[in-house]
Amino acid sequence: MTQRTLATFTLAVGLATLAGCASPTVITLNDGREIQAIDSPTYDEQSGFYEFEQLDGKETRINKDQVRTVKEL
């Protein structure tokens, strides 16, 4: 019983820590569309693309010329 409680507590603390590190971001494109990302996108200077993970877990790349703004929520 004690091991089960300890495992549940450890899992809860781990999830809370991960949730606290992420800062959701809204990326507004030049055509007015908005894309929500789990965390701030990273910019790859060599390719000229922003790379990020959408809320549904899909990895996405968008050309910097298509991005109007990047705002953290």
Q: What is the distance between the alpha carbons of residues 45 and 64, in angstroms, rounded to a whole number?
A: 10
59-63: strand order across its sheet: 42-44, 49-53, 59-63
Residue 29 lies in a domain: yes
**Span 1-18, mean pLDDT?**
63
CA angle 35, 53, 43 (to 5 degrees): 85
Instruction: Give me the domain span that covers residue 60.
Output: 22-72
Residue 17 lies in a domain: no
Residue 14 lies in a domain: no
Residue 26 lies in a domain: yes
25-29: strand order across its sheet: 34-37, 25-29, 67-72
**Span 23-46, mean pLDDT?**
95
Residue 33 lies in a domain: yes
Residue 46 has pLDDT above 60, yes or no: yes
Residue 8 lies in a domain: no
Residue 38 lies in a domain: yes
**Report field, pTM of the whole predicted structure over 0.85:** no
Check which CATH number belongs to the domain holding 67 and give it: 2.30.30.100
3-state secondary structure of 48: coil
Q: What total of structural domains would you count in the chain? A: 1
